[in-house]
Chains A and B, each alone.
Chain A
């Protein structure tokens, strides 16, 4: 197991290398530069800025410089649109906020999705089944971009239970976490139900019942563990997306998170920020997927890593 984890972590190196090369070349392939303004700056100033940031060099040299800065000094480079801040500052100031929001949304998604999926599968065609399906359809049909404003309208403006926007106090965290987690809870509920329905028809469930286990033990020890495998698979990417920041929800609720930088860095050609946010996302994704693979081994003893 330990060797497997080490090998997977070593695999991160080529994966991150590829992602960084592709992102770097794609970002530079987009026409225009970081210093294009509505009112064009004088050519000499742009030339000076380009020289200052090393943008007059060939792209491969810029890439080598960028990567060596990260590897040698853990410096993710400057932010072109701000003189005093660097990409490391963006990570330090905004990542914790996005991560808080993401983890809360994830907890909501799991807390609603998994119990509802299980109940719907165990009591097929009952009230819980219909509720589960309703949540599933609602979740995929009402995206965060719609749910966010609706939640503000109902619970913040009309009922005044929660503040409209912002971040920091627990009350401010409720609405955005729900808006972000709802869709994911629908996906999880759907998948849990489908996977449970498949598992409880397996022979080993009948065997478990036949040898006289209580229904509770059959469901928790035998069915749920196996049914959780496909659910665990989607949790990895889901976690990476939620924790590294979501533009729409952060924008609607005025949350100072990372999501904004994913978008504005591309439209502003702020290359180090583009690279930084994508690499951050990639690292989270690879680690989350590794964690998922490790949980497989706990869920299903037939899965072994050597």
Chain B
């Protein structure tokens, strides 16, 4: 080939002409990198399967999640009994009616796990969504306007940051649980209660108090995002293209939405994807300490809590929710890591 004789300019021109017709697209490039990452694809498939499980829960679940016969309580599935410590088979009821056994009220574990996705997944996604919205708006205002605005807004975040998050959430949940338990028409609490009912109905749960969990997590989750967005904007707003946008007379809102947001959204989405396991874990923790969803709504955290109490006699009750939770966390972590590598290849393998 004659390429050896080409000058540097000619080579550059050649590369440019090859690129023509298929412009460099950040999202397309990222997508191509993502689907080449096997762990991330696997994580993504598991996440999609979990979402489908949540949507199709009434179709898939073999039994109702809240109805059980106490005559069938604590049944261990036939296939599992051989794997458990020997002394359990001496007293445990075995049956193949329930694939994963039944709990202390004779409710099917599998159905409860399936409906549990309707608690865990919305909590994860809503946590990420509220953090993204509130954090981006807050961080954009603080970083873009800078100066005294920035100083005051960030000191507020610092003060809230210094406070232990879990304590804040627990106090919030205690506040919500006791405030919104009373339902007298006309009060603010009553309105919240009605909204909560709608949320629960949308999720197909009979009374779970999901709105309050969303609020508890949302109130505390946005601070990290606000800091991240602000930090990115601080360096970005001094760049030439922002100056150029100012020069041609673009307004603040237009500059933020059209010029700044597209440049910072990638790292923000990655940060929130990696934060989803944390939100799911928060709900699990809240349900474990009894401040999460209300029974009989099946939450994996509540199931682990119930199972942990009878771990000696009926270990299957804690085993399956624990595995389901870990599978979900693995999936989101793999997907998040893959997204980070795909959107920011420079970072690959360093964090």
Contact = CB atoms under 8 A, between A and B. Distances in A.
Interface of A: 18-19, 22-23, 26-27, 29-32, 124, 137, 140-143, 145-146, 148-150, 152-153, 157-158, 164, 190, 194, 197-198, 247-248, 251-252, 262-263, 266-267, 278, 281
Contacts of A152: 311
A143 B279 CA distance: 12
B277 A140 contact: yes
B41 to A, nearest CB: 15
B285 interface: yes
Interface string B311-345: 11001001100110110011001100100000000
B143 to A, nearest CB: 23
Given A145-B301, A150-B322, A152-B311, A32 B178 contact: yes
A129 B277 CA distance: 24
Given A145-B288, A150-B322, A164 B312 contact: yes
Given A142-B329, A262-B170, 4 more contacts: A30-B174, A145-B281, A145-B285, A263-B289
Contact of B85 (A30, A124, A158): A158
Contacts of A18: 159
B136 interface: no
Contacts of A262: 167, 170
A248 B350 CA distance: 32
Interface string B164-189: 10010011001100110000000000
Given A149-B308, A152-B311, A164-B311, A247 B85 contact: no
Contacts of A141: 277, 326, 329-330, 333
Contacts of B140: none
B137 to A, nearest CB: 25
A146 B163 contact: no
A145 B304 contact: yes
A142 B315 CA distance: 18
Nearest to A263: B289
Given A32-B178, A149-B304, A278 B167 contact: yes
A148 B163 CA distance: 27
Closest 9 A-B residue pairs measured CB to CB?
A141-B329, A146-B322, A141-B330, A149-B318, A194-B351, A31-B178, A32-B178, A157-B85, A30-B175
A50 to B, nearest CB: 18
A124 B285 CA distance: 36
10 contacts: A30-B178, A137-B334, A140-B333, A143-B329, A145-B284, A157-B315, A194-B351, A267-B290, A278-B167, A281-B164
B307 interface: yes
Given A140-B277, A266-B170, A267-B290, A153 B315 contact: yes
State the main secondary structure of chain B at its contact with A: helix
A157 B323 CA distance: 18
B240 to A, nearest CB: 29
A23 B167 CA distance: 9
Contacts of B304: 145-146, 149
Given A137-B333, A194-B350, A267-B290, A143 B281 contact: yes
Contact of A266 (B162, B171, B301): B171
A158 B85 CA distance: 5
Contacts of B281: 143, 145
A149 B325 CA distance: 13
Given A31-B178, A149-B307, A248-B285, A198 B291 contact: no
A153 B311 contact: yes
A241 to B, nearest CB: 8
A146 B312 contact: no
B333 A267 contact: no
Contacts of B312: 157, 164
Contacts of B163: 19, 22
B350 A197 contact: yes
B171 A26 contact: yes
Contacts of A29: 175
A140 B175 CA distance: 30
Given A148-B308, A190-B351, A142 B326 contact: yes
Interface string B261-294: 0000000000000000100010011001111000
Contacts of B291: 267
Contacts of B330: 137, 141
A149 B322 contact: yes
B314 to A, nearest CB: 11
A263 B170 contact: yes
Contacts of B322: 145-146, 149-150
Contacts of A281: 164
B174 A267 contact: yes
B44 to A, nearest CB: 15
B120 to A, nearest CB: 13
B171 A31 contact: no
B158 to A, nearest CB: 12
B288 A248 contact: yes
B308 A252 contact: yes
